[in-house]
Amino acid sequence: MHIYREKNYTVLFTDGSINLSWKANLGEAKKNWKTVKQLLNKEHLNLAYLTQIHSSKIVLATKAGYQGPGDGIITEEAEIALVVLVADCLPIALAEETGAAIGILHCGWKPLAKGIIENCIEKLEKMGVEPGKITAYLGPCAGVCCYEVTREFYNIFPENFIEQREGKCFFDMRKFAKHTLTKLGVRKIYDVNICTICSGEYFSYRKGEIFSRQSALIIKNKI
């Protein structure tokens, strides 16, 4: 588990010790979400969640509950836990330094290629948030050490984000995400720098764990 406890908000990246997917076992999921409440010291957890569709769509949440299809959620409201589920894709939590606005992103290669980070920062700017006052938190994901891709990725991403080893291509998602965030003016970036495929501590779709997910979550504290 990785928890960042700031005065105005809290970020949580869970690991493979608890499965938070509702698709596998409903009873297990309910029990494991209780564990998340305990980790956050919350008696109640008002989740805002999506049907993740590998898009660049960002949803503004004004209340908890189902937010429809998309791959990013932003809010200005306190006590709404923004959540995405992942198993190799890169989760990114974003927070304005005072907690005025927060966001969560589900960044597989398709959302990254479609500009999900750019779209989110643009929407936050329209809400009055300066990129230089945003802190980004990158969770565990498939690392360049293991994330093998096809050669067509050279037509999608700049070649400096793709490594070649033994005739195979490997995409560096976190390097691309950090480059994009920095280019957009985000100065503070924290990266857990863990590969979900080879670490042995996380669920990985690439390893066949189709119905298992860890969670990335951010919540604005009520002060």
Q: Are 80 and 124 in contact (CB under 8 A)?
A: no
- 2-220 has which CATH code? 3.60.140.10
CA 127 to chain centre: 21
Q: What is the C-alpha to C-alpha distance for residues 113 and 117, in angstroms, rounded to an integer? A: 9
CA distances for 189 relative to 110, 123, 150, angstroms: 22, 19, 29
Task: Specify the amino acid at residue 96.
Answer: E
Tokens matching residue 195:
């590969």
Helix residue ranges, H only, the chain: 26-40, 109-114, 116-126, 173-183
Q: What is the C-alpha to C-alpha distance for residues 148 and 196, in angstroms, rounded to an integer? A: 13
Q: Is 206 in a helix, a strand, or coil? A: helix
Q: What is the C-alpha to C-alpha distance for residues 47 and 12, in angstroms, rounded to an integer? A: 13
Q: What is the C-alpha to C-alpha distance for residues 208 and 223, in angstroms, rounded to an integer? A: 42
The tens-digit pLDDT sequence of the chain (223 residues) is 899 999 999 999 999 999 888 776 667 778 888 889 888 888 888 999 999 999 999 999 999 999 999 999 999 999 999 999 999 999 999 999 999 999 999 999 999 999 999 999 999 999 999 999 999 999 999 999 999 999 999 999 999 999 999 999 999 999 999 999 999 999 999 999 999 999 999 999 999 888 889 999 999 988 6
pTM summary value: 0.95
Q: What is the C-alpha to C-alpha distance for residues 198 and 46, in angstroms, rounded to an integer? A: 33
